[in-house]
Chain A
Amino acid sequence: MAKLLVQLVLFASALALQSRPVLAQDAPRMLQDDLEKPEVVKAWLIENSARADKESAREFFELGQKLKKERRWALASKAFGGSAIRYPTPQALNEYAEASIRDLGIRLDAQYVMPLYQSAIAADTVLHLMSNEEKRATQNNLDCLRVYMQIKKVQPGCRPLQAYGLSK
Chain B
Amino acid sequence: MSDKRYVVGGADGWLNVKRERSGEIIGLPEYLQVEARSSENDRDYFTVLEGVEKNKMFSVKAGNLKIGSPSYRPPARLTFSISKKKLSFPGGEIKAITVSRNPPPLGTIPIQIPDFLHIMGAAYQVHSLYAKTWFHLGQGHAVSGNNSTDRYLHTGLESAGCITVDPASWTRLYQYLILCRGNDGKTVGSVSVVR
Interface residues of A, count at CB 8 A: 36
- What distance in Å separates the Cβ of A33 from its nearest Cβ neighbour in chain B? 5
| A60 surroundings in chain B (CB, below 8 A) | 123
- B122–A18 CB distance below 8 A: yes
A73 interface neighbour in B97, B99, B148, B158, Cβ under 8 Å: B148
- B101–A109 CB distance below 8 A: yes
**C-beta contact mask, A86-124 vs B, less than 8 Å → 1, else 0?**
000000000000001001110111001000000000000
Chain B: which residue is nearest A81 at the CB level? B158
| B99 surroundings in chain A (CB, below 8 A) | 32-33, 81
| B148 surroundings in chain A (CB, below 8 A) | 73-74, 103-105, 107
- B122–A15 CB distance below 8 A: yes
Docked pose: A56 CA to B123 CA in angstroms: 9
Chain B: which residue is nearest A18 at the CB level? B122
A2 touches B (CB below 8 Å): no
Q: A32-B97, A74-B146 in contact; A14/B157 too (CB < 8 A)?
A: no
Docked pose: A15 CA to B117 CA in angstroms: 13
Interface residues of B, count at CB 8 A: 24
B107-157 residues at the A interface, CB under 8 angstroms: 119-120, 122-123, 125-127, 144-148, 150, 156-157
Dominant secondary structure of chain A at its interface with chain B: helix
Q: A18-B125, A73-B146, A79-B120 in contact; A104/B102 too (CB < 8 A)?
A: yes
| B120 surroundings in chain A (CB, below 8 A) | 14, 63, 75, 78-79
A1 touches B (CB below 8 Å): no
B159 touches A (CB below 8 Å): yes
Chain B: which residue is nearest A10 at the CB level? B119
- B150–A14 CB distance below 8 A: no
- A107–B126 CB distance below 8 A: no
The list of the 7 closest CB pairs from A to B, nearest first, reads A14-B122, A17-B123, A112-B101, A81-B158, A18-B122, A14-B119, A103-B148
Report 21 cross-chain contacts, Cβ distance below 8 Å, ordered by A residue: A14-B122, A18-B125, A18-B126, A20-B126, A29-B157, A36-B101, A60-B123, A72-B145, A74-B146, A74-B148, A74-B150, A75-B120, A75-B146, A78-B120, A79-B120, A81-B158, A82-B157, A85-B158, A103-B160, A105-B148, A107-B148
A-B contacts besides A11-B122, A108-B101, 18 pairs, CB < 8 Å: A11-B119, A14-B122, A20-B126, A25-B127, A33-B100, A36-B100, A56-B123, A74-B160, A77-B160, A78-B156, A78-B159, A81-B158, A82-B123, A100-B101, A103-B160, A107-B102, A108-B102, A112-B100
B positions within 8 Å CB-CB of A: 97, 99-102, 119-120, 122-123, 125-127, 144-148, 150, 156-161
